Each structure stands twice: as C-alpha cells, then as structure tokens.
C-alpha cells in the first residue's frame, strides 16, 4: 500500500473527510500518472515494429506512378497521359500584353542610412 493510500485510510479513520478527499485525489493522480508513463514506454518500444499479422508487406501509400514516355528529342507536339498526340488548333485569340509599369532604376548609389554608431 502506498503512502498516499495509507494517508487516505488514516484520514477516514479520524473523520477528517476533507483531508481524506485530498489524499484520495493524490493517490488517484499518482496511479493514473504511472499508468500513462507505462503506456508511453510501451508505445515508444513498438512504434516502428511490424504490427501483428502484417508481416513484411509494404503498405500502399499512394496510387501507382503514371507511365512516362521515353525521353526523345524535343518536338512541338503535345501528348496526353496515354501517349496520344493532341492536335493544337488556333482559336484566334490574341495573347495578352503586360500592362504593369516597369519602375525606373537609378544609376546613382543608394544613400547611406545613419545610426551605426551604436553597433
């Protein structure tokens, strides 16, 4: 019997219910903490080992990789995922021109910022 359980029983025997309640809480807190610590140890030991029944089988984490066409010289053709050529047809739309203003770059050196005397 632990010290906290003995304190709980002694407090009940004296009729000190408030002290008995605190001793009970302390004993229960210790018991739960030790059970959690043991569970953490068990999980840490078994986290990277094979689970029962799984054996050496690998778990599929993603879909199968797509097949890739063999690399060849550059062509101006586009192929779909099955390797079929996609024909390009011009829809007559004009390509957009950039409209953002390009800032001017000064050829003068940047001004030095003071305040480095505290460094």
pTM of the entire predicted model: 0.37
Q: Which domain holds residue 35?
A: 3-46
The distance of Cα 50 from the centroid of its chain, to the nearest Å, equals 22
What's the mean pLDDT in 52-70?
63
Answer whether residue 25 is part of any domain. yes
Answer whether residue 94 is part of any domain. no
Answer whether residue 88 is part of any domain. no
Quickly state the pLDDT bin for 63 (edges 50, 70, 90): confident
Answer whether residue 9 is part of any domain. yes
Q: Say if CB 19 and CB 11 are below 8 A apart.
A: yes
| Overall domain count for the chain | 1
State pLDDT tens for residues 73-111: 666 777 888 888 888 777 888 878 878 887 787 777 766
Answer whether residue 40 is part of any domain. yes
What's the mean pLDDT in 56-80?
68
Answer whether residue 17 is part of any domain. yes
Mean pLDDT of all residues belonging to the chain? 77
Answer whether residue 92 is part of any domain. no
Dist. CA 12–CA 98, nearest whole Å: 85
């Amino acid at each position: 019997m632990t010290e906290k359980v003995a304190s709980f029983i002694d407090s009940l025997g004296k009729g000190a219910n408030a002290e008995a309640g605190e001793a009970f809480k302390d004993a229960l807190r210790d018991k739960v903490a030790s059970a959690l610590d043991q569970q953490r140890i068990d999980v840490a030991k078994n986290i990277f080992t094979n689970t029962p029944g799984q054996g050496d089988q690998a778990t599929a984490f993603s879909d199968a990789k797509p097949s890739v066409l063999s690399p060849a010289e550059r062509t101006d053709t586009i192929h779909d995922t099955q390797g079929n050529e996609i024909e390009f047809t011009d829809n007559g739309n004009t390509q957009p021109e950039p409209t953002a203003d390009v800032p001017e770059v000064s050829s003068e050196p940047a001004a030095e910022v003071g305040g480095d005397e505290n460094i």
